[in-house]
Amino acid sequence: DGGITQSPKYLFRKEGQNVTLSCEQNLNHDAMYWYRQDPGQGLRLIYYSQIVNDFQKGDIAEGYSVSREKKESFPLTVTSAQKNPTAFYLCASSTGWGGGQETQYFGPGTRLLVL
């Protein structure tokens, strides 16, 4: 089945620790995205990638980093510089970047909690 997988489902971070969230898609999509979801605030864009080996900062990139070495993979690292990392993180992909009409397909999410 084609789709987006995210792992782990739950992740615990200790103070000062970097953690990496995995996102893999087998939809052959060029564009991929990372969103952060907090209660009552909707989703906010962290990073996006239009194509492999390229990525851009979104609205709330501080304290996060990404890589896009393979078309199907777009891991997100939450660094120790992110002071309030507790949230639900969603990865998405779309066929292209284009004119804004492409549907984004979402993974099941990773819930990050701070110990």
Distance, C-alpha 23 to centroid of its chain: 7
Q: Show the site string, 46-85: x = touches other proteins by CB under 8 A, - = not.
A: --x-x-------x---------------------------
Q: Show the site string, 8-27: x = touches other proteins by CB under 8 A, - = not.
A: --------------------
* Residue entry with tokens 């939809």: 27
CA distance 8 to 23: 9
Q: What are phi and psi of 30, to 5 degrees?
A: -80, -40
Cα-based distances in Å from 20 to 74, 102, 112: 10, 27, 10
CA distance 7 to 111: 10
**CB 15, min distance to other proteins, A:** 26
Query: Which of 31, 46, 66, 76 forms a contact with other proteins (CB under 8 A)?
Result: 31
**CB 16, min distance to other proteins, A:** 28
Which residues here bind other proteins, judged by CB under 8 A?
4, 6, 31, 33, 40-45, 48, 50, 58, 90, 92, 94, 96-109, 111
